[in-house]
Chain A
Amino acid sequence: MYLYLYDNFLRQKKFDAVIRAIETRLTDFGIAGKILRLQPFTNTEAVIEEERKRGASTVVIVGDDTTFGHTVSRAASCPILFGFLPIGEENSIASVLGIPAGVEACDVLSRRRKVKLDVGWMSNRNRFFISQLHIPTADITVAYDEKFVVSSKHGGMELVVCNLQPFVWREKGRDDYIVHPQDGKLEAFLRPIARKGLFRDTYEEPSIFPFEEMIVSGRAPFVVEADGNTTKEKKIIIQLAKRRIEMIVGKERKF
């Protein structure tokens, strides 16, 4: 049985036509199922676990990158197959997974090409993240794989950990770097602050480190944003949870 989790923003009128078309296509394929609408405080893990007990075998997330990250980061511990129907403008994860936006995504869903994906895991907080984790500029020290420690000469650093999405680093007057997340590794991008401005801070060139385990610690608590959830932490341990979630992907996936 299929369970469809619709994001709340899909109530807007401009999405009515796409939703109707998708529902028609799903019915044609015979994969229509129960629809649940996600609210800001919906505990997706509990919802999915309950529906799994009732016989749901596939959970399909309908929405954008935020919906996907928010749902999967909570529900990654549930042993269930995930699907994704991207709707809306912010859908970079869908292109990595090889899922086209709109009605065509139903074709990918019906083909059921299953792949097990790696996810990031904040082990001391028992939380997963699927797309990225972001720590805005803070005085932090990062220890990688218990082997080496990275710090900044000037104090503050911004940290982004990527799991699924490629990272594009533009240098003025030079070629771009594109770093594709490798399978079996997480990528950490560190941008030390060069100068604090009144309106805008200036950053140095980023450093890139692939890793499997990372410990981020700071003298003062720092902000951590993982798939839309924001918390304040003093120390976090980020690990790679290999082949943690099973997902329906497209043929054009980029990994």
Chain B
Amino acid sequence: MLDAMFQKPISSTAPKMESMKTDVRREDSVETVVGPSVVVEGDFSSEGNIIVKGTVSGSVHTTKLLRVEEGAKIFANVKAGNAVVAGTIRGNAKIAERLELVSSGRIAGDIDCKVFVIEAGALVNGKITMAGMEADEGRPEKKSNFGRMKVKSSEKEDSVM
């Protein structure tokens, strides 16, 4: 009751809408933000940039930049165009272009990306796959015994004849 009595009028408690006269550097860079004490459950997808500061359970998908801030947790598979991870991801991360893992970042899951930047102190527990190199490239070629076996069998046939 007291709380309500001393509260400002409702319009002033709402986040302020102001004109765009302010000096801003990060204009238009943010489209979806998951705040620090917010919990998101389900398939979370966006067409723009995503900043995660809270907890997300489910899956995360964006074609643009995903930024996982320090202290943020994602318990899901992640798909993004680019990603900067300073928090924790428990799930597979499929990044189309560049994945940057800073010192506080943790990924427990498989990583698939084109460019991978990892800072000292960051932790990864999983398989890392990067486009640009074939899986078999660089392995010494194994000689198969199939040819020799065949010769042997033909020799056997000959001997029978």
Contact = CB atoms under 8 A, between A and B. Distances in A.
Interface in A192-249: 192, 194, 196, 198-200, 204-210, 223, 225
Nearest to A135: B14
B118 interface: no
Interface string B45-80: 110100001100010000000000000000000000
Interface stretch (B20-28, B107-115, B137-145, B152-160): B20-28
DSSP majority for the B interface? loop
Contacts of A25: none
Interface stretch (B30-38, B82-90, B126-134): B30-38
Interface stretch (A3-11, A34-42, A108-116, A167-175): A167-175
Contacts of B37: 152-154, 192, 194, 204
A199 B17 contact: no
B20 A166 contact: yes
A179 B31 contact: yes
A162 interface: yes
A151 B39 contact: yes
A167 B31 contact: no
A4 to B, nearest CB: 26
Interface stretch (A13-21, A71-79, A99-107, A142-150): A142-150
Contacts of B54: 153, 207
B107 to A, nearest CB: 22
Contacts of A148: 40-44, 58
Given A150-B40, A175-B25, A177-B30, A158 B35 contact: no
Interface residues of B, number: 42
* Max chain A C-beta neighbours (<10 A), residue from B18, B30, B38, B39: B38
Nearest to B53: A205
* Max chain B C-beta neighbours (<10 A), residue from A92, A175, A207: A207
* Max chain B C-beta neighbours (<10 A), residue from A148, A167, A196: A148
B73 to A, nearest CB: 12
Contacts of B22: 168, 176, 178
A196 B18 CA distance: 26
Interface in A180-196: 180, 182, 189-192, 194, 196
B15 A225 contact: no
Nearest to A207: B35
17 contacts: A132-B17, A147-B42, A151-B38, A153-B39, A158-B14, A166-B19, A167-B15, A168-B16, A175-B26, A176-B22, A176-B23, A178-B22, A189-B15, A192-B35, A199-B6, A206-B15, A206-B35
* Smallest CB-CB A-B distances: 4 pairs: A148-B42, A207-B35, A208-B33, A153-B37
